[in-house]
């Protein structure tokens, strides 16, 4: 086993010093990658032959629960282990499905992941979390590398085999990142950083589920009621809809990157901006729909 003193001589000292940390994190990395692999298999099976929404959701819950319980990955730890574990499982499933739901238009899921992961990377790097920052760099790099081939008109497609593990790893990274450091100088509101960063994917997920329920449809069965589809029905071209969602995501993600480093007044402004962006989108959508009825 390598350590800082027994590492190969050709490694620079600036790298050697991090070897113990990498070895310490290696079991967790294996657990996370195995969970992502299982979700890739689930997605691949569903891409080949739809396996049913509830079966797919059950698989996601099992994978998330396994990673949380075995890997000891939890958010809101101050709330106690049971509540923290349940909240983490639900969060991972939410973000996994949010990115999966975003994979409904060429270039959409990959582009949104690029923006969201860049915002989380800023927080992880500022906190000195090299492992998490490196993880986010891998997500960011993979998404950027995939995007030119998936940008409309797409040459290759992500499918559930790509969007499920991608959303899962983004969710994991958002949990592992430290936003609140405690103490009298700690900014407790910084724990909302991932919610702010991924406000648009979450809005898409919540709104499309609500629309399906209102219309008496199964909320887990896919259709063309997603945010991107609604923008196209309002008269936008697919590319304009794509860039509109990119810009909306960037507007909230930029605030998220700053949230752990601002005072209460700054936090209130960022929360207000995020809510305003989402409400403007919702109001414009509802007004346009109402004018056509």
Closest to 227 measured CA to CA, from 210, 249, 207? 207
Instruction: State the average pLDDT over residues 84-96.
Output: 94
**CA–CA distance, 201 with 249 (Å, rounded to integer):** 8
Q: How far apart are CA 145 and CA 289, in angstroms?
A: 37
pLDDT of residue 87: 92
Who's near 155: CB < 8 A, 6+ residues apart? 149
The string of pLDDT tens digits covering residues 118-169 is 999 988 888 778 888 888 999 999 999 999 999 988 899 899 999 999 999 9
Report how far residue 268's alpha carbon sits from residue 96's, in angstroms, rounded to the nearest whole number.
Answer: 28
Check whether 186 has a pLDDT greater than 60. Answer: no
The share of the chain scoring above pLDDT 90, in percent, equals 45
pLDDT at 9: 66
Q: What is the mean pLDDT of the chain?
A: 84
Q: What percent of the chain has pLDDT over 70?
A: 84
pLDDT at 204 over 70: yes
Contact 86/153 with Cβ under 8 angstroms?
no
Q: What is the pLDDT of residue 10?
A: 62
**What pLDDT does 227 receive?**
83
Q: Give the Cα separation of 242 and 17 in Å (integer).
A: 43
> Is the Cβ–Cβ distance between 197 and 118 less than 8 Å?
no
Q: Which of 58-62, 175-179, 284-288 has the highest mean pLDDT?
A: 58-62
pLDDT in tens, 40-86: 999 999 989 888 888 999 999 999 999 999 988 888 766 778 888 99
Q: Which residues of 56-86 are buried (b: 16+ CB within 10 A; e: fewer)?
A: beebbeebbbebbeebebbbeeeeeeeebbe
pLDDT of 7 over the 70 cut: no
């Amino acid at each position: 086993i390598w350590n800082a003193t027994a590492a190969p001589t050709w490694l620079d000292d600036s790298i050697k010093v991090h070897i113990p940390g990498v070895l310490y994190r290696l079991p967790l990395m294996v657990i996370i990658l195995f969970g992502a692999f299982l979700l890739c298999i689930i997605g691949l099976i569903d891409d080949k032959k739809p396996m049913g929404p509830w079966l797919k959701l059950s698989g996601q819950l099992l994978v998330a629960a396994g990673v949380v319980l075995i890997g000891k990955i939890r958010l809101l730890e101050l709330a106690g282990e049971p509540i923290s574990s349940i909240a983490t499982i639900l969060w991972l499933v939410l973000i996994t499905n949010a990115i999966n739901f975003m994979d409904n238009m060429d270039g959409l899921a990959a582009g949104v992941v690029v923006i969201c992961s860049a915002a989380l990377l800023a927080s992880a790097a500022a906190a000195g979390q090299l492992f998490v920052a490196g993880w986010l760099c891998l997500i960011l790099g993979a998404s950027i590398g995939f995007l030119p081939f998936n940008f409309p008109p797409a040459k290759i497609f992500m499918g559930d085999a790509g969007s499920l593990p991608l959303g899962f790893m983004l969710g994991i990274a958002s949990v592992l990142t430290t936003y609140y450091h405690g103490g009298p100088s700690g900014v407790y509101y910084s724990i909302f950083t991932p919610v702010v960063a991924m406000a648009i994917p979450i809005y898409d997920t919540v709104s499309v589920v609500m629309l399906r329920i209102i219309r008496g449809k199964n909320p887990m069965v896919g259709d063309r009621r997603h945010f991107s589809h609604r923008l196209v029905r309002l008269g936008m071209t697919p590319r304009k809809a794509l860039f509109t969602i990119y810009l909306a995501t960037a507007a909230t993600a930029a605030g998220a990157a700053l949230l752990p480093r601002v005072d209460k007044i700054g936090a209130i402004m960022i929360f207000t901006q995020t809510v305003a962006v989402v409400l403007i989108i919702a109001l414009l959508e509802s007004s346009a729909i109402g004018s056509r009825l």
